[in-house]
Amino acid sequence: MTAPTARTVANAVLATAGVAAAYVVITTPPLRRLAIRGLRVWLGASVPMYLLTQAQRAWVESGQAGAGRRRRVRSGQAA
């Protein structure tokens, strides 16, 4: 068996196993609830962190990183 054929067979086996596992999870209510709970936890943690990281990166790339800080002004000096 050649390497490309072996890779194709392995991909087909993995896809079939994934579809079978998804069918079992969807048709079994306790497993479905567990999967939904896990999905909520995963999305609740990763999506806000991703958005926060992207907002921070956009802020830095826009050149506004130091614009929010106020300079200290000594008495008698102009800002």
* Number of structural domains the chain divides into: 1
78 in any annotated domain: no
Q: How far apart are CA 45 and CA 79, in angstroms?
A: 42
**Is the pLDDT score of 73 beyond 80?**
no
Q: Which letter does DSSP use for residue 69 in this model?
A: S
Where in the sequence is the domain holding 36, given as residue range(s)?
3-60
45 in any annotated domain: yes
User: Under a CB-based contact definition with an 8 Å cutoff, are residues 32 and 26 in contact?
Assistant: yes
73 in any annotated domain: no
70 in any annotated domain: no
Specify the amino acid at residue 66: G
**Is the pLDDT score of 13 beyond 90?**
yes
Q: Which residue has the higher pLDDT, 75 or 10?
A: 10
Q: Could you report the per-residue pLDDT of 24-66, keeping only the tens digit for each?
A: 999 999 999 999 999 999 888 888 899 999 999 999 998 866 5
User: Under a CB-based contact definition with an 8 Å cutoff, are residues 32 and 25 in contact?
Assistant: yes
User: Under a CB-based contact definition with an 8 Å cutoff, are residues 79 and 73 in contact?
Assistant: yes
